[in-house]
Amino acid sequence: MDIGKDISDYWLSQLRTSGYKLTGPRYCVVEILANTDKALTALEIYKQAHPQYPSLGLVSVYRTLEKLEELGLIQRVHQKEKCHAFIAMPNGHEHILICRYCGRVCFFQGDDLNTMVLGVEEKSGYQIQEHWLQLVGICGQCQRDRSIEYEVR
Ligand SMILES: [Zn+2]
Ligand SMILES: [Zn+2]
């Protein structure tokens, strides 16, 4: 939880620097995202925040997410059945590893892509500016929880 608090403070300073006014409901969205290791959709964030801030609308959640994404504080996560979910990016650019069942996210760094990116630039003539790398799998906890299912297969 202390780590979440730190992220939150970093985020708040970034938001303040950008001139973004954090009202109570927006603050609540930031807090929720900063304190979870699971990717959450706008609706899930809304449902968590709503009891505390009944005045918070889903549109405000979307707008806050847009702003956080613009500042590079969160990243979009693609999910099969759900719409986009979002995860906090506490350390800036990193690659993410996501559990397909529970949505838990881990981060990893690796520069092995650089060679590939340079090769792509050379062949395509594009100037590559950014990339996202998301690996999807089943986390250790879910593997244990679903061990019976695997045995059947
Ligand atoms: Zn990268
Ligand atoms: Zn999992």
pLDDT, residue 119, reads 94
pLDDT, residue 151, reads 54
pLDDT, residue 112, reads 77
82 against 79, higher pLDDT: 79
Sign of CA dihedral 84, 130, 16, 39: positive
Closest CA to 71 of 56, 84, 97, 90: 90
Q: For residue 140, report the distance from its CA to the centre of ligand 2, in Å.
A: 7
Indicate the residue among 45, 72, 91 that finishes a domain: 91
Q: For residue 112, report the distance from its CA to the centre of ligand 1, in Å.
A: 9
The enclosing H or E element of 136 equals: strand 134-137
Does 81 share its domain with 143?
no
pLDDT, residue 103, reads 84
Q: How far is CA 96 from the centre of its chain?
A: 9
Q: For residue 96, report the distance from its CA to the centre of ligand 1, in Å.
A: 9
Share of the chain above pLDDT 70, in %: 89
pLDDT tops 60 at residue 2: no
User: Residue 116: which CATH number?
Assistant: 3.30.1490.190
pLDDT per position as a tens digit, 116-130: 899 999 999 999 988
Distance from C-alpha of 131 to C-alpha of 35, rounded to nearest angstrom: 25
Q: Is residue 152 very low, low, confident or very high in pLDDT (cuts 50, 70, 90)?
A: very low
Q: For residue 108, report the distance from its CA to the centre of ligand 1, in Å.
A: 9
| Number of domains the chain is built from | 2
Domain enclosing residue 29, as ranges: 1-91
Give the closest ligand to the alpha carbon of residue 142. Answer: 2
